[in-house]
Amino acid sequence: MDILFPITPTHYLALSAILFGIGTAGVLSRKNIFVSLMSLELMLNAVNLSFITFARIHGDLTGQVIVLFVVAVAAAEACVGLAIVIALFRLKENVNVDLFNELKD
Amino acid sequence: MIETVLFYILAAALIGFGLMVITRTNPIASAMAMVGAFAGLAGLYAMLNARFLSIIQILVYAGGIMVLVIFVIMLLNLEPEDLQRMRAKGFVVLLALIGVGAAIVSPMLFCVIPNKDWANGSVSPEFGSMASVGAKMFADHLFPFEILSLVLLTAVVGALVLAKRKL
């Protein structure tokens, strides 16, 4: 029981690891490219959570500044990723990742 | 005590919404679950004295990125049969969760759990406010901040080039 509370930064890091795992499982197991993109965002957010936890542990704001940068890069990534999805949809009329195999042969 | 209760509520909501994101057939449902997960994360950020970032999390992720995703999902308007073909297969998702849990999450947890004595420490009430984060960013990380504007510009131009039918 005494591992469950009081809440320490360790709990936040464990939660971050679990969330990262859920995101990875989503990327690996789903065929829908939208769900893959969203799982990717979930992984980024899990990493952000551990950055903020470490900022809190060390009392240093650098972790929070890096999270701000990660949020901006995630916005750029989402925008380019969705543009690629639109371009692929024009080509295949579908968003199933199994159909995007032009480079295979 | 209140912190413990809040943490477990937010953690349960976060994991529940995360699992919903990767199991729903309809991508709109996934996106809505994702918004819920972002709200839970914003709460956790606020509990970790990151007030400014918890607001940014809601504004940028829930208000910006997810709206963009939902726009594109609705724009492409997929057929229900196509969505059925791409639905989450229970044992594949379970297999992925178990595999990732064994290969990635459990080693991380074994590194993290023994150090549970990490002090929470005390920080000044200014820690994580907009003024202090801004001062830190513009004092020590000015160059990355400037480069970021180029990254965003490149992303906007790149997205236009990729998605436009005819240039």
**Residue A32's beta-bridge partner residues?**
A96
The predicted-structure confidence for A2-31, as pLDDT tens digits, reads as follows 667 677 888 888 899 999 999 999 999 988
The count of domains in chain B is 1
CATH of the domain at B16: 1.20.120.1200
The domains located in chain A, with CATH, are 9-96 (1.10.287.3510)
Can you say how many angstroms the Cα of residue B28 is from the centroid of all Cα atoms in its chain? Answer: 16
Q: For residue B83, is it within any domain?
A: yes
Q: For residue B94, is it within any domain?
A: no
List the domain range (segments joined by +) for residue B160.
Answer: 2-88+124-166
The predicted-structure confidence for B64-103, as pLDDT tens digits, reads as follows 999 999 999 999 888 888 888 888 888 888 888 899 888 8
The predicted-structure confidence for A42-74, as pLDDT tens digits, reads as follows 999 999 999 999 888 888 899 999 999 999 999
The interface residues of chain B toward chain A in range 113-142, judged by CB-CB distance below 8 A, are 113, 115-121, 123, 127-128, 132-133, 136-137, 140-141
Q: What are phi and psi of A96, to 5 degrees?
A: -75, 125
Q: What is the pTM of this model?
A: 0.90
The predicted-structure confidence for B26-62, as pLDDT tens digits, reads as follows 999 999 999 999 999 999 999 998 999 999 999 999 8
Instruction: Give contacts of A70 with chain B, Cβ < 8 Å.
Output: none
| B109-118, long-range: CB < 8 A, 24+ apart | B109/A14, B109/A17, B112/A10, B112/A13, B112/A14, B112/A17, B113/A3, B113/A10, B113/A14, B115/A10, B116/A3, B116/A8, B116/A10, B117/A8, B118/A8, B118/A9, B118/A10, B118/A57
